[in-house]
Amino acid sequence: MSGHDHGDDGVNRRKVLECMTWAGTGVLWTITGGVPRSLGIVDSVQAAEAPGMTFLQISDSHVGFDKPANPNALGTLEEAVNKINAMPAKPSFMIHTGDITHLSKAAEFDNAERIISQTKLDVHYVPGEHDFLDEEVKFYRDRYGRGTKGQGWYSFDAGGVHFIGLVNVVDLKAGGLGNLGAEQLAWLEDDLRGKSKSTPVVLFAHIPLWTVYPQWGWGTEDGARALEYVKGFGSVTVLNGHIHQVMQKVEGNVTFHTARSTAFPQPAPGAAPSPGPMKVEDAKLRSMLGVASINFKQGNQPLAIIDTPLQG
Amino acid sequence: MKTLNRRDFGVAVAAAMLLPVTHARADDMEVHIDNFTFQPAELTVKVGTTVTWTNRDDIPHTIVSAGKFRSKTLDTDNQFSFTFTAAGDYKYFCSLHPHMTGLIKVE
């Protein structure tokens, strides 16, 4: 890495903008000087040997979904959990980027909990719009809202990394996208105040914080405000769900990444009349569902995200 | 479709004759949700008309007109009806997928 002389974060600020989509087996990406570099196809054994802290991202379980795109969303969540349990090295914890359930029914939350708890990992949740559908909007909050602020946002530290869980599925405006709101943005600014700029930051929320495809509502109205607050930090990773496919973009010091669903795939932006569940051949379904494993190595800050489908 | 025999045909005719009585009033209107869009997206109706929305997607949606009406979450094939008793423009949207918008003009 050359030409990095900006402060103590060791990151080349050369502006890089790339947008990629993959389907298929796991690809290990490492970020050096803000440039993503593929290390090729890897399996979970190699992933486990990567040094540093590893955590998992799981997303869009849609427990209760039973339509043709996947008649058994609970079953594929269980397959994902089995895959996690079979990992040779235990990750530090897991984040779930929302849409745990399909219709926010108590039984759906209970079933999701019954399966996900089999990982015996700490799980940090943020809600998707499918988790706030019950009349009183209390099932999610009763289970996962304790100790959170506002509609359920919070932060925590692990392995020297500052994690921030945001809620962008509430109070959506007609014609608009995902929404963080003034109260949450003020909290975020305050949460980051005084943090060393060399602290790696991970922002996670359900709907992408970057504009993926506004025609389908895939973006967050005031996401750019949140990104302003993390601008000075040397390493920022933004992890989202909602779009049920892997997408990555690197912009300067910020890496954006979306995870696969464990329930059903959705079409690539504009590739279908709507973003609704995509029915694929039964044999292909499991190659389009999966989990992501994220590895942080302290020091020169390479970052690796490995997306592992349920079936290669 | 298979050909109707005479007896079935008779039943079908009888059912059709009953329709004006058993079915909704003639000026009631329908909006379908297909592929994350309201169809028609814009609808003009007379005062007193009941509009019924039907969700035909595999994903739940809502019908929300700020300060006017708000449906529960509609799962696949669920319906929501609202009777418009005052003239005006009623903009509405899906609170889960806010890029979905529609308009009922009541005259």
The number of folded domains in chain B is 1
Closest-CA distance, A217 to chain B, in angstroms, reads 6
Closest CB to A174: pick one of B59, B60, B98. Answer: B98
What is the residue range of B99's domain?
A: 26-106
A277 to B58: CB separation less than 8 angstroms, yes or no = yes
Quote the pLDDT of residue A27: 37
- pLDDT score, position B48: 95
Instruction: Report CA dihedral (A131, A135, A139, A140) to the nearest 10 degrees.
Output: 30
Q: CB-based contact (8 Å) between B77 and chain A?
A: no
Task: Note whether B59 contacts A103, CB cutoff 8 Å.
Answer: no
* Candidates B76, B91, B96; nearest CB to A67: B76
In a domain, A85, yes or no: yes
| Element containing residue A188 per DSSP (H, E) | helix A182-192
**How many interface pairs between A and B have CB atoms less than 8 angstroms apart?**
56
* A200 inside domain: yes
Interchain proximity B93–A175, CB inside 8 Å: yes
Strands (E), chain A: 17-22, 27-32, 35-41, 53-58, 94-96, 123-125, 154-158, 161-165, 201-204, 236-240, 246-251, 254-258, 290-296, 303-309
Instruction: Give residue A1's pLDDT.
Output: 33
Contacting residues of A for B37, CB less than 8 Å apart: 274
Q: Is residue B4 part of a domain?
A: no
CA-nearest residue to B99 within chain A is: A175
pLDDT in tens, A153-173: 999 999 889 999 999 999 999
Greater model confidence, A20 or B96: B96
What stretches in chain A show pLDDT beneath 70? 1-51, 297-303
Is A41 among the domain residues? no
Global pTM? 0.83
Instruction: Suggest the residue from A108, A133, A169, A278 to mutate for an interface test with chain B (most B CBs closer than 10 A).
Output: A133
Chain B residues within 8 A of A217 when measuring between CB atoms: 97-99
**Residue A245 counted as domain residue:** yes
Angle, to 10 degrees, between the axis of helix A106-116 and the axis of helix A73-85? Answer: 20
In a domain, A48, yes or no: no
**A276 vs B57, B66, B73: nearest CB:** B57
Q: Does B47 touch chain A (CB under 8 A)?
A: no
Is A150 within 8 Å of A126 (Cβ atoms)? no
Please give the residue of chain B at the shortest CA–CA distance from A136.
B72
- Nearest-by-CA chain B residue for A277: B58
**B103 part of contact set with chain A, CB < 8 Å:** no
Question: Per the structure, how many domains does chain A have?
Answer: 1
> Is residue B25 over pLDDT 70?
no
- On chain A, the residues whose CB falls within 8 A of the CB of B92 are 174
Q: Residue A42 is which amino acid? A: V
Measure B92 CA to nearest chain A CA, in Å. Answer: 7
B30 located within any domain: yes
Give a yes or no: residue B6 inside a domain. Answer: no
Q: Among A262, A237, A261, A232, which Cα is nearest to A248's?
A: A237
- The CATH number linked to B51 is 2.60.40.420
E strand intervals along chain B: 29-34, 37-39, 42-45, 50-55, 64-65, 69-70, 79-83, 88-93, 101-106
Looking at residue A122, the DSSP 8-state letter turns out to be: -
B15, part of any domain = no
In a domain, residue B20? The reply is: no
Q: Which residue of B has its CA nearest to A214?
A: B99
Residue B34 lies in a domain: yes
Q: Render pLDDT for A58-111 as a digit per residue (tens, 0 to 9).
A: 999 999 999 999 999 999 999 999 999 988 888 899 999 999 999 999 999 999
* Mean pLDDT for the stretch of residues B82-94: 97
The ipTM estimated for the assembled molecules is 0.81
pLDDT (0 to 100) of residue A309: 87
Torsion angle of C-alpha atoms A242, A248, A250, A255, degrees rounded to 10: 60
Give residue A261's domain range: 17-31+53-309
